[in-house]
Structure 1
């Protein structure tokens, strides 16, 4: 049963407000051109309120030259001021330099006309006002006159600074902009009130392989190598998908999902989805992969779409558990932890993509059977925070986290709880649970969200759960807990997740399609989503030569006896599987057959 929508974001912006990200490139964010005011401009910069660690400011531009159709105002702070929230402009900051760019509704300014925007900021020490401004590259005259004074203009502020609040405000000024907000401004939950993008390529595969009943469901598009940005192997590229999304939206809200997945040294604990970039290729990742993606997504033609970015599955969880000191440790993960390129890459992606006003970044957070133990849970939150504050990113560039990406863990185990006891023995001691604190994804995601907020992430973050392959229906689905003979018979007889071991991840036998994509299914959850499109392989069951950088992992071989990460158990993988991401008909048929809820 769905829970009513909970408006969680206590720091939600007022109408028309835009989240501001530091370290972004203005050209990738605005619709401005290089035109200049032919005669000049004046700027009134007013500090409207100030307290011990923050301030609010209002900026009015007067165009004293010829009419302009859009504008970009630039200035530099003299101190350590940082813009934290803005409205009526797209505001970006790199070091001391700040750029404010017009939106779709306020770019035109007649000769002699004015336009206003505002922002909140943080500072320590002195809060000196800027001393000079440029409008579309042309310097405006005038100098700063002090806190609350005017800069480059002839009119002082009409009201003095207000009395500093006793505590810093958590929301921008309550007065909304007088002009309508851009339709691309962020909303509380990008899935609520929006259609989901139907990838026509996946839809055609599904419909042509016995899945017509789900061919209209929304699935994510994986950008798993540089070539996929423009389109590889005859498939649609990023721009083509965005163009199709605009057509499907037909003027209505639509959410389209992309998986950002090409880190240097990618997937250091597995081989099936290794990537094309070496462990040290961080510059290539940033400038040949992330920059082109951000450039395409910033096109004004896509400003009304809600673009969800799933940021680098498996990367940060690998740093937590597989870099050193645990049974799953690998030399490759130790290398990535030492060089910091996972954190640098994730931070760069968050900063660049988060600077766009209509994007939503969700960091991958593994799953309950990976990070649910005490030894992993809190360290994971700290690792996520480290990445989210690297390479110019801030926590404000993160709209949420996703669990169970491309995995099979049940959303909810309906027949037993982690708090259950059998004859005085805790369920946690069972072989399946193995002292984990969680037995399913929803309980894990909810608890992780609280932990993430406690370490510094915004209180409004939402969680996603990938339900594309975790339904576990069919004739083998238990309807009640198992016998109370022992804690193991109780758990094993009742669990709907029928894998041999919860560490098994490749093309799992017996799996079924799970809950259909659903907005706001429970408190704290933004959506159930299908990020791993059903029918796309996790990896090949034997070595296959390819030019995609993908290797062969024995966990995809049904004859392999397992390793330390899965307790030396059989893999449970299906036979005859193709490369990761390629269509796997046998798996798709199984998923459709075992769907839960059943397909009509």
Structure 2
């Protein structure tokens, strides 16, 4: 086969200024993060039978009224949570910014304290104090993730324009523009801080997944993100399925399937939607957002706190091929009566545990809605929180246009939104997928560690680091392997292998182990070459597969100078299978057959002694995807 030339398209300029900026803000704040566990939520979870198995999971803290900033009803306030995050040794903490004027205009259960015209109060009494606390230098090393105003902007798309689901309150918010102004103000104020990461709520596929909604949603999100001082640079990304129940990935059917000539889109459940799950919706919306004007760096989050749909009702495969409805209804993971049902759903379960980078352009699966916190009261409850009674939380209500006039599927005897609902937590625990054993710990092995890389080499040592794996009971140790031999165990996410031979290639993998003795599969192997004897000139290169899916993958290569500065470099290797590079960045790469050559581009060829740079590429394969042995030549 002929050579394929690939010019560099991306990269970070060398030099102190660019490196300082990169150190201050990362592309994906969840990657490599130690996530904060809210002790208020953890205490509730641990007090439930079997709840200790998941009480260590990170969840978001909802700032749902002005008083919540300083703490209410014995619950900690914003500053107390940030202080506790530091005490835990965490470096990422999640908050939900949730007090817009006329909040959640289509759902009475989550109404708030501020009226439709209270924009000034929202700005000065709510956002400004939050921004002032987050700006405290004491928290400068925390990555503060803010989920901005769930349900607000999606309501402007579907519930404010005279459609069957429209409400007078939503029409008012669309007319006065306070939702857009409020979101814009929050993005601007919080985005101006160097360590905050704003993710704007973008509904879910069962709300905005239709062609008629997706484009207008992207336009509405862009309008808000460029309102009241905000720019698209204040947005790290978007979150889908916040506090909802839609399946992350529908495994038993695809939107392109047909049954006897009838497409899945025509089934009653899918109802002509373009998407059947949250991950595909998130990525489809991301494409629309980038086309609308958001930068290609935006990432997506999926709230997986209550979309596990496990237990005995979980289908093991597609439904029968007797009709498209039988095929979809028999196989769908989401067992709600209707996708428009949103309140305290019967049969729901805990979903995928929080984890960074589970798929390309998905920054993380997160638990933004803390499991066990009610969606709303099942009957009217007097309160001073501004929360009303929504019939969608009443299990006897026969529904409305937004849920196809079906029963709500809500659990009975539910408290106010945000209050602890023990019966719901037990339901989620029982139906969790991946499953959880009551009180005995999670039956799942830990997740595979990711991001294994070399952080330094000498002629006799290799220093490694990796991203912590996330599982239900918590990883207690990592086992490090050189080739097939375990060479050490560490409780941290770094390790230095010593006593090595100069200028020699070594292959490393890491496994995670939990307190119950469950061990993960091995991480992707990393090949590292020690420096020449005495740390002399030359360079080394380390290869890491950063992601893989189906027949595709991405990989990074880190080039490091030896004991002397270099002015250029070239990395070569031979693939062991049929891997083909389709796109590369921060290098000019050529491939002929299995042989690959990658050379520096103009901005990353010069490296100081011991300095390093990274390039990457995307590729395809159909067989194995083993890590090749690299050779680095310096100029």
Same-fold status (TM-score > 0.5) = yes
Following TM superposition, by how much is the alpha carbon of 1:324 offset from its aligned partner in structure 2, in angstroms?
1.4
Contact 1:11 1:459 in 2 (8 A): no
CA distance in structure 1 between the partners assigned to 2:316 and 2:150 by the alignment: 32
Match in the other structure for 1:522: 359
Contact 1:11 1:460 in 2 (8 A): no
CA distance in structure 2 between the partners assigned to 1:176 and 1:320 by the alignment: 44
CA distance in structure 2 between the partners assigned to 1:194 and 1:229 by the alignment: 24
Distance 1:274-1:516 versus aligned 2 partners, 3 A rule:
same
- SS of 2:252's equivalent? coil
Match in the other structure for 2:265: 428
Following TM superposition, by how much is the alpha carbon of 1:390 offset from its aligned partner in structure 2, in angstroms?
0.2
- SS of 1:490's equivalent? helix
CA distance in structure 2 between the partners assigned to 1:214 and 1:11 by the alignment: 40
- SS of 2:74's equivalent? coil
Match in the other structure for 1:193: 32
Match in the other structure for 2:43: 204
Unaligned runs of 5+ in 1: 1-9, 15-172
Match in the other structure for 1:347: 184
Kindly indicate whether residue 53 of structure 2 is the aligned counterpart of residue 216 of structure 1: no
Kindly indicate whether residue 111 of structure 2 is the aligned counterpart of residue 280 of structure 1: no
Choose the corresponding residue for 1:532, options 354, 362, 369: 369
Following TM superposition, by how much is the alpha carbon of 1:440 offset from its aligned partner in structure 2, in angstroms?
0.3
Following TM superposition, by how much is the alpha carbon of 1:182 offset from its aligned partner in structure 2, in angstroms?
7.7
Following TM superposition, by how much is the alpha carbon of 1:177 offset from its aligned partner in structure 2, in angstroms?
3.2
CA distance in structure 1 between the partners assigned to 2:23 and 2:392 by the alignment: 42
CA distance in structure 1 between the partners assigned to 2:20 and 2:360 by the alignment: 27
Kindly indicate whether residue 152 of structure 2 is the aligned counterpart of residue 319 of structure 1: no
CA distance in structure 2 between the partners assigned to 1:309 and 1:183 by the alignment: 20
Match in the other structure for 2:95: 258
CA distance in structure 1 between the partners assigned to 2:107 and 2:243 by the alignment: 14
Match in the other structure for 2:479: none
CA distance in structure 2 between the partners assigned to 1:375 and 1:353 by the alignment: 32
Kindly indicate whether residue 134 of structure 2 is the aligned counterpart of residue 297 of structure 1: yes
Contact 1:273 1:550 in 2 (8 A): yes
Match in the other structure for 2:232: 395
TM-score under structure 2 length normalisation: 0.66
CA distance in structure 2 between the partners assigned to 1:548 and 1:183 by the alignment: 41
Match in the other structure for 2:71: 231
Distance 1:11-1:553 versus aligned 2 partners, 3 A rule:
farther
CA distance in structure 2 between the partners assigned to 1:184 and 1:388 by the alignment: 25
CA distance in structure 2 between the partners assigned to 1:568 and 1:282 by the alignment: 35
Match in the other structure for 2:426: 589
Following TM superposition, by how much is the alpha carbon of 1:174 offset from its aligned partner in structure 2, in angstroms?
3.6
Encode CA deviations 1:505-548: one digit per residue, 9 max, x unaligned.
Answer: 00000000000001000001000000000000000000000000
Give the 5 Å matches for 1:93-104: none
Kindly indicate whether residue 403 of structure 2 is the aligned counterpart of residue 566 of structure 1: yes
Match in the other structure for 1:378: 215
- SS of 1:519's equivalent? strand
Encode CA deviations 1:40-98: one digit per residue, 9 max, x unaligned.
Answer: xxxxxxxxxxxxxxxxxxxxxxxxxxxxxxxxxxxxxxxxxxxxxxxxxxxxxxxxxxx
Contact 1:372 1:444 in 2 (8 A): yes
Following TM superposition, by how much is the alpha carbon of 1:233 offset from its aligned partner in structure 2, in angstroms?
1.1
Choose the corresponding residue for 1:549, options 386, 389, 406: 386
Bigger strand share: 2
Match in the other structure for 1:416: 253
CA distance in structure 1 between the partners assigned to 2:10 and 2:184 by the alignment: 22
Following TM superposition, by how much is the alpha carbon of 1:175 offset from its aligned partner in structure 2, in angstroms?
2.2
Following TM superposition, by how much is the alpha carbon of 1:483 offset from its aligned partner in structure 2, in angstroms?
0.6
User: Over aligned residue pairs, what C-alpha RMSD do you find?
Assistant: 1.3
Choose the corresponding residue for 2:195, options 321, 337, 358: 358
CA distance in structure 2 between the partners assigned to 1:258 and 1:272 by the alignment: 20
TM-score under structure 1 length normalisation: 0.70
CA distance in structure 1 between the partners assigned to 2:74 and 2:21 by the alignment: 35
Contact 1:544 1:579 in 2 (8 A): yes
CA distance in structure 2 between the partners assigned to 1:426 and 1:325 by the alignment: 30
CA distance in structure 2 between the partners assigned to 1:541 and 1:375 by the alignment: 33
Following TM superposition, by how much is the alpha carbon of 1:234 offset from its aligned partner in structure 2, in angstroms?
1.4
Encode CA deviations 1:124-177: one digit per residue, 9 max, x unaligned.
Answer: xxxxxxxxxxxxxxxxxxxxxxxxxxxxxxxxxxxxxxxxxxxxxxxxx54233
Following TM superposition, by how much is the alpha carbon of 1:255 offset from its aligned partner in structure 2, in angstroms?
1.2
Match in the other structure for 1:6: none
CA distance in structure 2 between the partners assigned to 1:321 and 1:262 by the alignment: 20
Kindly indicate whether residue 242 of structure 2 is the aligned counterpart of residue 405 of structure 1: yes
Following TM superposition, by how much is the alpha carbon of 1:183 offset from its aligned partner in structure 2, in angstroms?
9.2
- SS of 1:296's equivalent? helix
CA distance in structure 1 between the partners assigned to 2:244 and 2:218 by the alignment: 20
CA distance in structure 1 between the partners assigned to 2:366 and 2:353 by the alignment: 7
Give the 5 Å matches for 1:433-444: 433-444=270-281
Following TM superposition, by how much is the alpha carbon of 1:261 offset from its aligned partner in structure 2, in angstroms?
0.2
The list of structure 1 runs, each at least 4 consecutive aligned residues, that deviate by more than 3 angstroms after superposition, is 180-184
Following TM superposition, by how much is the alpha carbon of 1:184 offset from its aligned partner in structure 2, in angstroms?
6.9
CA distance in structure 2 between the partners assigned to 1:194 and 1:524 by the alignment: 17
Distance 1:204-1:182 versus aligned 2 partners, 3 A rule:
farther
- SS of 1:463's equivalent? strand
How many residues in Structure 1 have an aligned counterpart in Structure 2? 428
Unaligned runs of 5+ in 2: 1-8, 437-441, 443-635
Encode CA deviations 1:231-265: one digit per residue, 9 max, x unaligned.
Answer: 1111100000000011112xxx6210000000000
Encode CA deviations 1:338-384: one digit per residue, 9 max, x unaligned.
Answer: 00000000000000000001000000000000000011000000000
CA distance in structure 2 between the partners assigned to 1:586 and 1:531 by the alignment: 19
- SS of 1:181's equivalent? helix
Match in the other structure for 1:470: 307
CA distance in structure 2 between the partners assigned to 1:375 and 1:567 by the alignment: 18
Contact 1:224 1:275 in 2 (8 A): yes
CA distance in structure 1 between the partners assigned to 2:222 and 2:10 by the alignment: 19
- SS of 1:361's equivalent? strand
Choose the corresponding residue for 1:457, options 277, 289, 294: 294
